[in-house]
């Protein structure tokens, strides 16, 4: 639930006049996303998304994010594309905030993940990884292994509010992850937040299936181990509501990925460890948000324990075969 | 800021299949309105608004509201029109709530009211009043004079939190309003909440002006004194941010109205009293909301004192001439 910054009609008119997008006929704040302010902007030429970047986004990193979306779209990945103004600039200022207009991506994210969704996700993720190979900018992943212990230290004093022995469990796991984290796997551009709400699908009525229509929200994208993106998706897409791991979903996702970008033996072998790391990352950030969200706030808190249980599952995985890999 | 009920893609597909509106390509929650859940629904045929009615709307009154929008649209007022399903029904159930799809109204509400906006508002309001004349359903205004004292009693114990002598001021004014409230003025269908955020405009670039594109949000509409709708607009449209009353705005609005629907001498003479009543209504509801909104809630509280000051202004008005009427 968002819309932090209200844009007046006058300010919007002036802003839109910098672009060749036609005349504004509607502009409605979208109640999605918690990082930025998003408007669905309609002109007599089409639909766009207007984003005002709020304080959780570092303005210095915006050229990376916008450049990446443009690069990926130009290389065949369906995703929002920044619109350039008449002066050539895609990033300008609105209501005192950095702001950009991007193309509108059709589709909806799926609340109920099917095998078919996972089969579509895999090749699209691989396509993104290949498309990102020659993107010239880089951005460190500040939520990877080096960032986890400082985050843990910030929540440690209150971790018992979530689970009595949570701090000890996290500390033991961090010791293990830091000692074993892979340093030689292929690195490249990853999305790093490829949860179901960032992947759109459109129903193909004739075929009776959903087709992936694109990825959104690249504001965690960074340069990191490519297989770590897969590990995030193993966590985000392949568990059922009751906590059970669905190896069929994992197999369909992984096999779809490998058809587009083959995975080396090292990458496959590292998947259980990377999946533990991904579970740790979301356990930590969710714990932080859980402890810092006032109970009365109108924001739905995401249960950190979901990722504690996923971490426990991956700790018991002895090889990639348990993810459905033949 | 809204979206109380999240609709899954599966539920939406099934719901939309009841209508001849084409295939859904996007559905985004709108961060506007605080009463209901609103989605901007896009299909391959066009744009629509999907509304789920939350608990503040009485389901038994929905046929009145939906029927009214349909009636007004058929009689020349630009406003959202309910879409009927293949079974002929405009009102059905989604996620356990009453729900309807209405046509999409282009335009934006103006954050900065100009003389031109007021000149457009007047005739449109009069058109609505004329169009409503033969609408067969009626609905009592539960926020008119009979409803104010019970509302006052509910806030009286804490009124001093807003202003030390607020309770006494309100009580004196209620005594006066109840004794003098007009009983013989023309009655009909009124919008009853015609604030700037419920009136859309579109820029006419060629003419360099904004044109009214329609009214929205008829969920306070009711059967009441027609001139009371005007009195609400005198409050909502004709004061500047610094509290000054802008008689030019009032004159343009009133004269525009009278060109379409002439006002009788009785109606004109009653305007100061009706304007006091309208100020009282919003002073009371804003006071109630102010006292019942937790300080930490992510809802912007509207200052009740704005309407205390507007009430004070109208108390000093001795005749309609002060509203710019010649």
DSSP for B69-129, please give it: HHHHHHTT-----BPP-TTS-S-EEETTEEEEEEEPPP-EE-SS--HHHHHHHHHHHHHHH
pLDDT beneath 70: ranges in chain B: 1-3, 33-34, 295-299
Q: What pLDDT does residue A300 have?
A: 72
Average pLDDT, chain A: 94
Task: For chain B, say whether A27 makes contact (Cβ under 8 Å).
Answer: yes
| Residue limits of CATH 3.30.200.20 in chain A | 9-103
Please tell me what DSSP assigns to residue A299: S
| CATH dotted code for B108-323 | 3.90.1200.10
Checking if the pLDDT of A138 tops 80, the result is yes
Q: What pLDDT does residue A1 have?
A: 40
Task: For chain B, say whether A300 makes contact (Cβ under 8 Å).
Answer: no
Q: What pLDDT does residue A82 have?
A: 97
Read off the tokens for A242: 């009751």
Q: Which residues of B touch A109 (CB under 8 A)?
A: 9
Q: What part of A 37-66 touches B (C-beta under 8 Å)? A: 40, 42, 47
Q: What pLDDT does residue B264 have?
A: 97
Fold of A9-103: Phosphorylase Kinase; domain 1 (3.30.200)
Q: What pLDDT does residue B55 have?
A: 83
Could you tell me how many CB contacts below 8 A there are between chain A and chain B? 95
Q: What pLDDT does residue B11 have?
A: 93
Q: What pLDDT does residue B3 have?
A: 61
Q: What pLDDT does residue A276 have?
A: 98
10 Å CB burial of residue B68 (0-12, 13-18, 19+) is buried
| Residue in A99, A284, A128 with CA at minimum distance from that of residue A198 | A128
Do A6 and B202 lie within an 8 Å CB cutoff?
Answer: no
Lowest mean pLDDT among A47-56, A229-238, A267-276, B190-199: A47-56
Determine the length of chain B.
Answer: 326
Lowest mean pLDDT among A33-42, A109-118, A250-259, A267-276: A33-42
Angle at CA B140, nearest 5°, toward B137 and B145?
Answer: 155
pLDDT band at A205 (very low <50, low <70, confident <90, very high): confident
Secondary structure element (H or E) that encloses residue A306, with its range: helix A305-315
Percent of chain A whose predicted confidence (pLDDT) is above 90: 88
Q: Which residues of A touch B6 (CB under 8 A)?
A: 111
Of residues A31, A109, A203, nearest to B3 (C-beta): A31
Determine the length of chain A.
Answer: 326
Taking the C-alpha atoms of residue B51 and residue B19, their distance in angstroms, rounded to an integer, is 15
Q: B178 in helix, strand or coil?
A: helix
10 Å CB burial of residue B163 (0-12, 13-18, 19+) is middle
Half-sphere exposure of B215 (CA within 13 A, CB side): 28
10 Å CB burial of residue A294 (0-12, 13-18, 19+) is exposed
Q: Which residue of A has its CA nearest to B14?
A: A203
pLDDT band at A301 (very low <50, low <70, confident <90, very high): confident
| Residue limits of CATH 3.90.1200.10 in chain A | 108-323
Secondary structure element (H or E) that encloses residue B226, with its range: helix B226-237
């Amino acid at each position: 639930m968002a819309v932090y910054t209200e844009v007046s009609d006058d300010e919007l008119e002036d802003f839109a006049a910098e672009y060749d997008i036609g005349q504004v006929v509607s502009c409605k704040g979208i109640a999605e996303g918690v990082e930025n302010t998003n408007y669905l902007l309609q002109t007599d030429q089409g639909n766009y998304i207007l984003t005002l970047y709020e304080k959780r986004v570092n303005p210095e990193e915006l050229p990376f994010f916008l450049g990446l979306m443009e690069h990926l779209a130009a290389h065949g990945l369906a995703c929002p594309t920044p619109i350039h103004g008449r002066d050539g600039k895609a990033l300008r200022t609105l209501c005192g905030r950095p702001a950009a207009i991007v193309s509108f991506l059709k589709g909806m994210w799926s609340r109920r993940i099917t095998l078919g969704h996972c089969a579509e996700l895999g090749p699209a993720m691989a396509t993104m990884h290949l498309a990102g190979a020659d993107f010239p900018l880089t951005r460190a992943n500040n939520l990877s292994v080096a960032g986890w212990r400082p985050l843990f230290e910030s929540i440690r004093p209150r971790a018992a509010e979530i689970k009595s022995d949570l701090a000890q469990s996290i500390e033991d796991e961090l010791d293990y992850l830091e000692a074993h984290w892979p340093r030689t796997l292929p690195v490249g551009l990853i999305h790093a937040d490829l949860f179901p709400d960032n992947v759109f699908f459109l129903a193909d009525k004739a075929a009776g299936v959903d087709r992936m229509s694109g990825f959104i929200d690249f504001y965690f994208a960074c340069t990191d181990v490519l297989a770590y993106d897969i590990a995030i998706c193993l966590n985000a897409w392949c568990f059922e509501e009751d906590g059970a791991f669905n190896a069929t979903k994992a197999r369909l996702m992984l096999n779809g990925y490998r058809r587009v970008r083959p995975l080396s033996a090292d990458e496959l072998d590292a998947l259980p460890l990377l999946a533990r790391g991904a579970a740790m990352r979301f356990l930590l950030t969710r714990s932080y948000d859980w402890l810092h969200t006032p109970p009365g706030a109108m924001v739905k808190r995401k249960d950190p324990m979901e990722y504690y249980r996923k971490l426990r599952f991956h700790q018991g995985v002895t090889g990639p075969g348990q993810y459905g890999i033949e």
